[in-house]
């Protein structure tokens, strides 16, 4: 099964639900949920709440994030919003503003 790729230059306004992996190079406004991994590539911009297995942020993300596995904010990534996940990494050089709930 092919994953979903939102390429540079494409904008989606609305709701995305997917069984597979979602990669965002372009922009998404609305909501995004996946039963697999979601990654926001460098240059990608998302204004949406995200629900997924794992979430990786190398671009810009504004919205609350819930992951069943993990959230990784990578170098150059920027996340504004609350994170709910059992595992979270914030790389050196990443920006983050929000609350963390690790389900302790």
Q: Determine which residue in the list 19, 87, 95, 97 makes contact with other proteins, applying CB under 8 A.
A: 19
- In the block, tokens 């992951």 appear at 67
Residue 1 touching other proteins (CB under 8 A): yes
Q: Which two tokens stand for residue 19?
A: 């069984």
CB of 88 to other proteins, least distance (A): 26
DSSP secondary structure of 38-70? EEE-TT-EEEEEEEEEEEEESSEEES-EEEEEE
Residue 10 touching other proteins (CB under 8 A): yes
Pattern 60-99, binding to other proteins, x per CB under 8 A?
----------------------------------------
φ and ψ of 32, to 5 deg? -140, 125
Residue 9 touching other proteins (CB under 8 A): yes
Residue 45 touching other proteins (CB under 8 A): no
């Amino acid at each position: 099964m092919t994953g979903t790729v939102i390429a540079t230059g494409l904008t989606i306004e609305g709701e995305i639900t997917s069984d597979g992996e979602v990669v965002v190079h372009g922009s998404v406004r609305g909501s995004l949920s996946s039963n697999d991994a979601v990654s926001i590539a460098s240059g990608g911009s998302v204004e949406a709440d995200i629900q997924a297995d794992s979430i990786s942020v190398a671009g810009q993300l504004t919205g609350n994030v819930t992951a069943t596995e993990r959230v990784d904010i990578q170098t150059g990534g920027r996340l504004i919003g609350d994170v709910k996940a059992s595992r979270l990494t914030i790389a050196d050089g990443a920006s983050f503003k929000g609350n963390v709930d690790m389900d302790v």
